Amino acid sequence: MTPLQSYASDPANSRGRLHDEKRDVTRGPRDDFQRDRDRIIHSISFRRLRYKTQVFVAPDGDHYRVRLTHSLEVAQIGRTIARALGLNEDLTEALCLAHDIGHPPFGHAGEDALEAALADFGGFDHNAQTIRTLTLLEQPYPRWKGLNLTWEMLEGLAKHNGPVRKPTWALAEANEAMDLDLDSWPSLEAQVAAIADDIAYDNHDIDDGIRAGLLTLDQLLELPFIAERWHAICDRFADVPEKLLLPELIRDQIGLMVNDVLETTSARIDGLGIETAQDVRQAGQMISGFSDAMAKMERVLKGFMYDNLYHHPKQMAAAEAGKMMVSDLVQAYREQPDLMPEDWTSALPGEEPARIRHIADFLAGMTDRYARNRHREIFGDRAGRA
């Protein structure tokens, strides 16, 4: 294993956990970041990602990605980058695995519905909901709420995209409990997790889009940088049918992006004189990321994916149906709280905004199929009410 660089996050120097824990040697020789990773993997909220939308709402096909498989793919890319840069692989992996835990059912459509429902009560943000879920809603331990993750883990989840100047109410609550230094830049491990997420969905969504018949190879080849790589692959495998070469294109694209991140990040570390983890937080900019040329290419690719896949009429119709289901369920639970399971009903606060936020917590934890089943129980077979 590559030795840790001086600017990597070191579990021996962790700022600790909110609740002090006595080391229990019966649970294995793991450091704090390894324990964080394992707590994520063993959590209920992580298991629920199996039935949460990635791109395709409640996909019928077994071969499409869901939030769980996406998170695993992000973790694989993140670990590769972290290892090459001499960063902490376990913290990077834990951040990658946890980054989507706060997503409600039906992806961004479900998030839009909850944002609208909570518009007068501070709104809804899936990133902050991830932290809320891991610090309050998961309750596997007898003496405290949450998974009691390290400061570095929570900091990375809170600001993997950079400093947070105006935290939402959920993030502000978490920050009040454990100051996450929201004005500073995140660790390199958190930055790597963020760029690994981009690399994963930029490329794997192409695979799923073509498999679903919503994208075609001809459409992709309208992008010059895709066409250049495709033609090189066809030349390299001239004796192989083209229909077998799409996975090779996806792999090449991922490799190209990963190598660009490694070169760019290493150059920035050297150019900024980064020597310690604190230097990273005080750098005044993101250090790990794409070069200017790759960032420009990636923006073009994202624009293409929005135009041709994410905003495809079939996708928009499915998303609208999901949004309506979540909106219906919010209204139903507000009017008849006893429709929720007893443990959620019994804990329902009496006053706003805590009341609607409690309902949102219940809804955000739902999988696509659970939300569909609850909606069917309450409203029958209608996809959603107008």
Q: SS3 sequence, 30-91?
A: CCHHHHHHHHHHCCHHHHHHHHCECCCCCCCCCCCCEHHHHHHHHHHHHHHHHHHHCCCHHH
Between CA 145 and CA 154 the distance in angstroms is: 15
Q: What's the pLDDT tens digit per position in 226-261?
A: 999 999 999 999 999 988 999 999 999 999 999 999
- Token pair of 283 as six digits: 């750098």
> What is the pLDDT at residue 24?
63
Q: For residue 386, what pLDDT is reported?
A: 35
Positions in the chain whose pLDDT score sits under 50: 384-386
Q: Which residue has the tokens 């809603």?
A: 137
> How confident is the model at residue 26, as a pLDDT?
64
What domains, with CATH codes, occur in the chain?
32-386 (1.10.3210.10)
User: 116-140: per-residue pLDDT in tens?
Assistant: 999 999 999 999 999 999 999 999 9
Q: What is the pTM of this model?
A: 0.95
Q: Is the dihedral of CA 372, 376, 379, 383 positive or negative?
A: positive
DSSP string, 299-358: HHHHHHHIIIIIT-HHHHHHHHHHHHHHHHHHHHHHH-GGGS-HHHHHT--SSTTHHHHH
